[in-house]
């Protein structure tokens, strides 16, 4: 979700009319090459692989890319819930006010060589959850995830395919074991002005024991983001999304949700 909603458009300065460098027409003159990014954001609902982790959530991400034969990006993301879940049924019991999320993710991503016209990236993420979330009975506050994402321009849009393996992920959610999450979607960027783009997305997700020891179609989603290039180093991205739930609607906090948010990314 962070990669899709913090897209950067290559145009615009404070006036929105940057001069063009003939040797690199996509880059405004005076914009230095940067390898680091800091992003701060707010979202009405924090969704992970179609599963609602919390409602009102603020988040911060810091990452840096090391250039080389194979570019490697190292980063840290922190999520801090403002309000916890309301009372609801859970495994046949009534849980009074689940605690707000307090999660820190440490990740490393490697850009892989293109395969069959697909650009590819491989990422390892370790998620550290506060012990009381998502369920008071949880005893494992962290788990690792290895994910692969493929992207290809198919003309009218970009095709995005992804798969993730949660190493002991279900144990972190109180049920034991690991599991897979697979997703497929389309994304289309439409230029509106030199400094504003509209990014539309849609897709579906399938889980196989990632959160619980069961399998099935988990969710479908629609999204619209509006990256606004403020200057050479700053991008403001408001977004609106819809997450339709297939497997989790038996829990009141896992119903279909219309959600929104905004983020500000600054490169350094």
Query: What per-residue confidence (pLDDT) applies to 193?
Result: 94
Residue 28 pLDDT more than 90?
Answer: no
268 is written with which tokens? 């350094």
**Residue 174, pLDDT score:** 62
| Contact assessment for residue 96 and residue 89, using Cβ atoms and an 8 Å cutoff | no
Of the two residues 187 and 142, the one the predictor is more confident about is 187
The lowest-confidence range among 36-50, 97-111, 130-144, 212-226 is: 130-144
In the block, which residue shows the tokens 């994304």? 187
Most confident of 11-20, 93-102, 128-137, 218-227: 218-227
Q: Which residue has the higher pLDDT, 41 or 138?
A: 41
> Of 223, 211, 222, 221, nearest to 248 (Cα)?
211
Q: Which residues of 125-139 are buried (b: 16+ CB within 10 A; e: fewer)?
A: bebebbebbbbeebe
Tell me the residue ranges of DSSP E strands in 51-178.
51-54, 57-66, 72-81, 88-90, 93-95, 102-115, 118-129, 142-153, 158-167
CATH architecture for segment(s) 46-226+239-257 = Beta Barrel (2.40)
Sign, CA torsion 126/131/132/135: positive
Mean pLDDT of 6-32: 41
Domain ranges across the chain: 46-226+239-257
pLDDT of 51 strictly over 80: yes
Mean pLDDT check: name the lowest of 11-20, 83-92, 255-264.
11-20
Mean pLDDT of the chain: 79
């Amino acid at each position: 979700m962070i990669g899709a909603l913090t897209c950067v458009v290559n145009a615009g300065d404070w006036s929105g009319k940057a001069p063009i460098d003939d040797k690199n027409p996509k880059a405004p003159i005076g914009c230095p090459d940067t390898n680091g990014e800091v992003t701060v954001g707010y979202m009405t609902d924090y969704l992970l692989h179609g599963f609602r982790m919390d409602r009102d959530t603020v988040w911060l991400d810091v990452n840096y890319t090391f250039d080389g034969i194979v570019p490697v990006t190292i980063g840290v993301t922190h999520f801090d819930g403002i309000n916890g879940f309301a009372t609801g049924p859970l495994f046949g019991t009534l849980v009074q006010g689940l605690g707000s999320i307090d999660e820190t993710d440490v990740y490393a991503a490697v850009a892989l060589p293109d395969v069959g016209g697909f650009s590819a990236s491989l990422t390892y993420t370790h998620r550290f959850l506060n012990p009381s979330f998502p369920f008071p009975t949880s005893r494992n506050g962290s788990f690792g995830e290895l994910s692969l994402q493929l992207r290809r321009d198919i003309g009218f849009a970009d095709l995005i395919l992804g798969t993730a393996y949660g190493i002991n992920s279900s144990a972190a959610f109180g049920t034991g074991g690991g599991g897979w999450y697979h997703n497929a979607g389309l994304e289309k960027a439409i230029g509106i002005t030199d400094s504003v783009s509209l990014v539309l997305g849609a897709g579906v997700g399938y889980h196989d024991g990632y959160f619980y020891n069961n399998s099935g179609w988990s969710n479908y989603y629609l999204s619209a983001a509006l990256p606004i290039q403020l200057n050479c180093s700053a991008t403001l991205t408001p977004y609106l999304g819809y997450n339709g739930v297939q497997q989790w609607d038996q829990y009141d906090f896992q119903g279909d949700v219309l959600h929104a948010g905004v983020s500000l990314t600054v490169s350094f």
